[in-house]
Amino acid sequence: MKIPSSIWTLLIGIVLTLASLWYGQNHGLLPAAATDEAVLVDGLFNTMMIVSTGIFLLVEGILIYSAFKYRRRAGDNEDGPPVEGNVPLEILWTAIPAIIVIGISVYSFDVYNEMGGFDPHSIHEAPMNQESMKMPGHGSAIAATLSDTPPGTEPNLNQEKSDEAMQDPATAEVRNADQIPQLRNAPGVGIVAPTIGGTPDKAGKPAQLQVNVTGLQYAWIFTYPETGITTGEMHVPIGREVEISMTANDVIHAFWVPEFRLKQDAIPGRQSEIRFTPQKAGDYVLICAELCGPYHGAMRAPVVVEPQEAFDKWVQEQLVASKETLNQAIAVNPTDLSPNEFLAPYTKNMGIKPEILHQVHH
């Protein structure tokens, strides 16, 4: 009994569909999803894997079948029949990819919007935050320059930066971080980079935790404005929306934690933001995803996602450790210098500003 070709086509289509659906959900190519946003990204990635697997199996299957079915037989030296084209077939294989690309584009746009990334007006409407990107240990010379500038006159930021570099070469390289909040108010200057903000249901609401991140060759520095903690590793609690405000001191870096499925560039002279809600406890690695120099591959930092109780304990430990370090330095101070003056040579290169030391000490 000869099976009709239509039945064979149906059976092959069912097998290809089932194989594509299975592999698209079980490819194992992604690390564990650790944030709410990762679930959205994984759904999009799995969909693309299902579609691409089906297309791959179909195309390769037809090629292999054709290679065996229409191979040249022994003793066959004649030319094949001339083929001038098949208009319906050409329309079909043009329309199907077009529909697939449009569908994935719409799905991608929806995921990006659900993550809070689609806000074309955020670059113009971002709120002023004087302390959001201040690196510890820097003065407000640029703020004073901007505030003293007559209306309608552009501030000479290059000259100001050059003067500071000559006065204090050790910290000049990180002072561009101070320019960000002040430059937001400068006439005609828009320096807020496009962001991945809050999800539509949280639009316009402040995040539950703010962390300021500065990238420099070749390290990440994290500052918690609410407590004044400055550290080389990032801790965030489970279930709380975190807003990362970031910049770079020298070249472009990129904030990327694979398990978070989020990536955002840290750009010198600009503030970029990204929001996420961690949901899976664990130790992760923050990787710089932009080639930033010869030691780019070593620019990593630990990221710890932990329960709220563990996060609160870590905060207290950091505050206590900072205070103990300060008291020890004061105990061995053989001069009449104030604590800030005595620690200045040690903290200047670390970028710790005197206000934080004063707050911890008292």
Give the best-scoring range by mean pLDDT among 86-90, 200-204, 302-306.
Answer: 302-306
14 pLDDT exceeds 80? Answer: yes
Residue 188: the pLDDT is: 38
Model confidence pLDDT, tens digit, residues 131-168 = 434 444 333 333 333 333 344 444 443 344 334 433 33
**Alpha-carbon distances, residue 261 vs 99, 125, 145, 252, 283 (angstroms):** 27, 26, 40, 20, 15
34-55 average pLDDT score: 93
Residue 272: the pLDDT is: 87
Give every CB contact of residue 185 below 8 A, 6+ residues apart in sequence.
Answer: 128, 146
Domain boundaries, the chain: 5-68+93-115, 187-322
214 pLDDT exceeds 50? Answer: yes
Give every CB contact of residue 92 below 8 A, 6+ residues apart in sequence.
Answer: none
306 pLDDT exceeds 90? Answer: yes
175 pLDDT exceeds 70? Answer: no
What is the C-alpha to C-alpha distance for residues 100 and 106, in angstroms, rounded to an integer?
A: 10
pLDDT category of residue 120 using cuts at 50, 70 and 90 = low
What CATH number labels 187-322? 2.60.40.420
Strand order across the 262-266 sheet: 234-237, 300-306, 282-288, 253-257, 262-266
325-352 average pLDDT score: 59
| Beta strands in 62-201, from DSSP E residues, in sequence order | none
If 0-12 CB within 10 Å is exposed, 13-18 middle and 19+ buried, where does residue 106 land? Answer: exposed
Lowest mean pLDDT among 155-164, 262-271, 352-361: 155-164
Give residue 239's region: left, alpha or beta (phi > 0; psi -120 to 50): left
What is the C-alpha to C-alpha distance for residues 331 and 338, in angstroms, rounded to an integer?
A: 12
**Helix, strand, or coil (residue 221):** strand
| φ, ψ at 182 (rounded to 5°) | -75, -40
pLDDT category of residue 282 using cuts at 50, 70 and 90 = very high
356 pLDDT exceeds 90? Answer: no
Sign of the C-alpha dihedral, residues 215, 220, 226, 228? negative
- The pTM score is 0.67
Lowest mean pLDDT among 119-123, 277-281, 330-334: 119-123
What percentage of the chain reaches a pLDDT higher than 90?
Answer: 41
pLDDT category of residue 349 using cuts at 50, 70 and 90 = low
Residue 8: the pLDDT is: 86
Mean model confidence pLDDT for the chain: 76
Residue 338: the pLDDT is: 62
Lowest mean pLDDT among 84-98, 151-165, 338-352: 151-165
